[in-house]
Amino acid sequence: MSDYKKTLNLPATTFPMKGSLTQNEPKILDGWYQTDAYGAMIGANEGCTPYVLHDGPPYANGHIHIGHAMNKILKDVIVKHRNLTGRQAQYVPGWDCHGLPIELKVEQELGGKNKFSILEIRKKCREYALKYLDIQREEFKRLGVLGTWDKPYLTMTPDYETATARELANFYKLGSVQRNKKPIYWCGSCETALAEAEVEYDDHSSPSIYVRFPLQAEELARVFPQAPADDSFIVIWTTTPWTIPDNLAVAVHPDFEYDLVQVGGTFYILAKELVAGCAERFGWGEWSVRATVQGSALEGLVARHPFYDRPSPVVTADYVTLDAGTGCVHTAPGHGREDYETGLRHGLEILSPLDDEARFLPSVEFFGGKNVFEANPLVIAKLTEVGHLLGSEKIRHSYPHCWRCKKPVIFRATTQWFIAMEHDNLRGKTLGAIDNDVRWIPSWGKERIHSMIKFRPDWCISRQRMWGVPIIALLCKDCGDAYFDGDWAHGIVDRFATHPTGADYWFEAPLTEVVPKGLTCPKCGGTHWEKEDDILDVWFDSGTSFAAVVEGRPECSFPADLYLEGTDQHRGWFHSSLLASMGTRGVPPYKTVLTHGFVLDGQGRKMSKSIGNVVAPQEIIEKHGAEVLRLWVASENYQEDLRISDEILRRLVDAYRKIRNTCRFILGNLSDFNPATDLIATADMLALDRYALNMVRAKHQTIQAAYENFEFHKVYHTLHNLCTTDLSSYYLDIIKDRVYVNGATSLERRSAQTALYHMLLMIVGDMAPILSFTSEEIFQHLPEAMRPAGSTVFAMRVPEIEGALLTEEETAIWNLVFAVRGDVTRAIEPLRQSKELGHSLDAKVIIHATGEAFAALSGVASDLRDVFIVSQAQVTDQPAPAEAIQGEVEGVAVVIARALGEKCARCWIHDENLGTDPEHPTACPRCTKVLKEYHA
């Protein structure tokens, strides 16, 4: 028996059964960087069609989190796949280095910003960003992500800052930039303006108040002659009592009906539809409607401010709604976009007497020095004191908060720099590009960003901070007007390019060096200038990355093929990039935009430190390896929110083992296979092998189509099912006898090995973008004669098998064979359970078939024993006996009998001719032949 074992062609490979990923991945990483695997991957596609996936820059602050890991793995999967399929896809990682979080951290470390110069703070910010950039770079590399990690793009380098500032100069030349006083989001805690992308909405408790404004007699008599001059009011509702001091008007809708309501001797004006609800809320016992007019008739009435001696005219506005309140809208032009537009139309002052910390200026009567939120109860108390508060309560509603400090923000009118959305039809052109020029995946992304662009205000591009690209402009010290000529700005930008720290030039250069000789203010004729000290919005920074990287790097080309980020970037990077490119190029910076969801815990909850459900990628890598994390990313439909938990990861570890073991089995059975000498021509392969190879090719094509469509969960599920079911449970089990037992160089064995060879290369190519470490390990363990050219798996080209492997008739026959195999397996299983059969090889199968089924099965009768994994199989058209089992295949019945003959000691198959050769009395004729050849 021991001699027989030596004669078997048992699997042999150095590829280990256990992945030991946590120990082996770092070794594979070292190999990639020692041999420049990324360079080999790119070099293998020299001259091929370029594919540009432009990296949205993560912020250089802190360690990477699970969302970062998912994002980078998704990008890596795409880049590797495109290279493996014959496109040159470079990956240039980037980092967003400017902005508030780093500046605040540095200020905290320095003990305040007032102790140091702007250049000292900028230097510290640069050092801080570099520190975390290095940390994140190593963490990203540990994920198995390949790219130009030694030459990333950074928004703080001179070349990048130059590109950003040059885009600002381009907007200057187009006339798109304006400097105005407008209400914008403002964070009093961070003391800066905020972009819409920097505002998050969360629940907030606000006071909800109803206030009556006294009406002046002269205009009132014209509309409501019956109303008393000294006891008539218009009623407003607001959830921001602190803005009442800055009220300058009351807005009504021109098309709504408004009632004059009498309560005792007092008269009130409210929207007709809201009178009943308000009367109940205010506790009006008896009331009556004395008159009704269109809102347009109210225009021209003049109210008085409830506690300041100034008028508050009644104006009309289309944005007034009847959803809540009174239908009469308190209007403070300095604290709301719609209020601001109303103020412009009616010549109202843009009043916003607040400092940078959102405190009322000392000159504001009653509330000077108070933070706006502290002022809310004080305003309510003042309204109560003067008798003009009709009602007050607390409500919880969605309210904007600062993305950084998480505190509520306000609308504050300040002088800022804007890119005008209507100039040169920027809004219209951008909407057209969204609809016609960009592919949005998922498709709802188009509607989302379309709505955002359609209704957004002018783009506020200025920030009152220090760490960023400066706004290149001069301010007249005599009148405050600004000078920002495009050609002049381009000249300044040229100096950024040659300065060691880029935009620091603006802060270092003496005024005389940047002010054009003889420059006079076009507004007042003044000659006294100072440099603007605002910086650009960081979204303008990152949004101009197409200019710095996609156009600026020789390995890239404009526009990018793909931008891939989270769904929040419809209002962030996708948004700012689109506006910046449309404004100066007239075309989008990308062809396709792909978004992914957010990572939730196993119960579908948002991750939170307070809940304790945060899953760190570093912990997953330490426990399971980066390969399992990569598999998790691919296994989920990332276009929706993803869940992660220990249980989910455990299932993936099991799935990984099965995929690995399938590959190991195939590798082990190819140890003596040399494609140069042993490959069997497709036409000469056994039909079963051609059928199996055809099946794998079909799955391979499904996988490749899924990669092209960014459907990586389909890749995972197809690959997993292929390895664990189609191959391991069927084909690989079937061919074991032939591969182990037949002669080493026999046609039957070489045919199976040829199929396995083609299958393995397809599988490795299919799994390499996702299971990168394991694919590399398999590649390095391939027998040298089988290994594709190149030092790394990523330098290979995903193989394709051309031409037909089976005719339609053959395919139909083998589909029938495997359907009957299912019936046979189900028939044998009860006999094994009852111990009537020890193994399927103890069985003989008689297939009773009729008509076409008999004809088809008879043609492959000699293969059925192998396919069914039994000792004997025969096909007959005789009527099935009563004990025959009718399976799921129509026209086919199965009879299971005990196999005839004795069991061969070498192959374990029962054979009636066992022992016919005296030299091998326990071997069947097939094994006897192989043994004679073996010992020859």
Distances in whole angstroms, Cα of residue 432 to Cα of each of 428, 436, 437, 445, 664: 6, 6, 8, 15, 53
Where helices occur in 554-645 by DSSP H, the ranges are: 573-584, 617-624, 626-635
Same domain? 234 vs 273:
yes
Do 770 and 856 share a structural domain? no
Same-domain check for residues 266 and 350: yes
Residue 682 Cα to chain centre, angstroms? 43
Given this model, what pLDDT does residue 847 score?
A: 97
509-522: b (≥16 Cβ within 10 Å) or e: eeeeebbeeeeebe
Q: How far apart are CA 602 and CA 616, in angstroms?
A: 14
Q: Based on C-alpha coordinates, what's the Rg of the chain?
A: 38
| Residue 283 sits in the same domain as residue 379 | yes
In a domain, 613, yes or no: no
Residues whose CB is less than 8 angstroms from the CB of residue 221 and which lie 6 or more positions away in sequence, other chains included: 227, 229
Q: Strand 885-886 and strand 872-876: pairing?
A: unpaired
Residues 782, 830, single domain; the answer is no
Query: By residue range, what is the domain housing residue 295?
Result: 203-395
484 touches 529 (CB < 8 A): no
Whole-number Å distance between alpha carbons of 761 and 690: 16
Q: Which residues contact 190 (CB under 8 A, 6 or more apart)?
A: 100, 104, 402, 404, 405
Local structure of residue 389 (DSSP, 8 states) = E
Pair of tokens at residue 389: 């508060």
Which of 5-14, 292-301, 523-532 has the least mean pLDDT? 292-301
β-sheet bridge partners, residue 95: 154
* Among 64, 95, 73, 146, residue whose Cα is nearest residue 618: 64
Q: Which of 394, 459, 481, 478 is nearest to 206 (CA)?
A: 394
> Could you tell me if 726 and 789 lie in one domain?
yes
609 is in an annotated binding site: yes
22 falls in which pLDDT band (50, 70, 90)? very high
Instruction: Report the half-sphere exposure of 186 (CA within 13 A, side-chain side).
Output: 25
Name the token pair of 926: 């097939």
Do the beta carbons of residue 872 and residue 844 sit within 8 Å?
yes
At 417 the three-state DSSP class reads: strand
Does an H or E element contain 599, and which? strand 599-601
934: part of which helix (H) or strand (E)?
helix 925-935
Residue 382 in domain = yes
List, for residues 63-115, the tens digit of each pLDDT value.
999 999 999 999 999 999 999 999 999 999 999 999 988 998 998 888 877 77
As a whole number of angstroms, the distance between CA 101 and CA 468 comes to 12
End-to-end CA distance of the chain: 19
Number of H helices and number of E strands within the chain?
32, 34
List all residues 6 or more positions away from 246 whose beta carbon is below 8 Å from its beta carbon: 332, 334, 335, 351, 352, 353
What global pTM score does this model have? 0.89
Confidence of residue 564 (pLDDT cuts 50, 70, 90): very high
Determine the pLDDT at residue 789. Answer: 82
327's torsion region: left (phi>0), alpha (psi -120 to 50) or beta? left
- The span from the CA of 216 to the CA of 765, in Å, is 81
pLDDT tens, residue by residue, 176-201: 999 988 888 899 888 888 877 788 88
- Clarify whether residues 785 and 815 are in a common domain: no
How far apart are alpha carbons 840 and 861 in whole angstroms? Answer: 18
Q: 247 and 321, same structural domain? A: yes
Instruction: Tell me whether residue 907 is annotated as binding.
Output: yes
- Measured distance CA(720)–CA(736) in Å, rounded: 21
For the ranges 403-417, 494-508, 790-804, the lowest mean pLDDT is seen at 403-417
For residue 788, cis peptide bond before it (omega within 30 degrees of 0): no
Q: 824: which residues sit within 8 A by CB, 6+ positions away?
A: 845, 847, 868, 870, 887, 894, 896
Residue 546 lies in a domain: no
Residue 574 falls inside a structural domain: no
Same domain, 779 and 822: no
pLDDT at 888 over 70: yes
Instruction: Break the chain down into helix, strand, coil percent, rounded to 5.
Output: 45, 20, 35
- Report whether 670 contacts 753 (CB < 8 A): yes
- What is the rounded distance in angstroms from the CA atom of residue 737 to the CA atom of residue 271? 88
My answer on whether 783 and 815 are in the same domain is no
Q: Is 723 annotated as a binding residue?
A: no
Please give the structure tokens belonging to residue 793.
């798996």
**Listed range (626-630, 713-717, 918-922) with the worst mean pLDDT:** 918-922
pLDDT top residue among 587 and 107: 587
The whole-angstrom separation of Cα 444 and Cα 657 is 37
Within a 10 A sphere around the Cβ of 238, how many other Cβ atoms?
Answer: 21
Q: Which of 395, 427, 454 is the last residue of a domain?
A: 395
- How do residues 643-694 score in pLDDT, each as one tens digit? 999 999 999 999 999 999 999 999 999 999 999 999 999 999 999 999 999 9
CATH number for the domain that contains residue 674: 1.10.730.10
Is 90 exceeded by the pLDDT of residue 221?
no
Residues 851 and 776 in one domain: no
Residue 924 assigned ligand-binding role: yes
Query: 236 and 383 share a domain?
Result: yes
Where is the domain boundary, 370, 395, 420?
Answer: 395
The residue from 762, 795, 828 where one domain ends is: 795
Coil/strand/helix, residue 793: helix
CA dist 383 → 174, 208, 366 (Å) = 49, 13, 12
Can you read off the two tokens belonging to residue 263?
């309560």
Does the pLDDT at position 2 exceed 60?
no
Q: Assign residue 882 the CATH number of its domain.
A: 3.30.2320.20
* Least confident window among 197-206, 517-526, 528-537: 197-206
Please say whether the beta carbons of 383 and 209 come within 8 A.
yes
**Residue 116 belongs to a domain:** no
Whether 409 maps to a domain, the answer reads: no
Considering the domain boundaries, does residue 90 fall inside one?
A: no
Give me the DSSP letters along 830-856: HHHHTTS-SSGGGEEEEEEE-HHHHHH
β-bridge pairing 599-601 and 529-531: unpaired
How many folded domains does the chain comprise? 3
One-letter identity of residue 249: A
Average pLDDT, the chain: 93
Q: What is the length of the chain? A: 936
Residue 735, C-beta contacts closer than 8 angstroms, at least 6 positions apart: 688, 689, 752, 866
Q: Is 904 annotated as a binding residue?
A: yes
Query: Of all residues in the chain, what percent carry a pLDDT higher than 90?
Result: 74
Contact 412, 184 (CB under 8 A): yes
CATH code of 383's domain = 3.90.740.10
- Please tell me whether residue 167 adopts helix, strand or coil conformation: helix
Q: How many CB atoms lie within 10 A of CB 231?
A: 13
Q: Is 627 known to sit in a ligand binding site?
A: no
Query: pLDDT, tens digit, for every residue of 792-824?
Result: 999 999 999 988 899 999 999 999 999 999 999
Do the Cβ atoms of 382 and 322 come closer than 8 Å? no
Instruction: Give the pLDDT mean for 383-410.
Output: 87
Q: Is residue 885 part of a domain?
A: yes
Per-residue pLDDT, 1:
45
Whose CA is closest to 485, among 181, 168, 182?
168
Distance CA 125, CA 130 (A): 9
The pLDDT, as a whole number, for residue 762 is 97
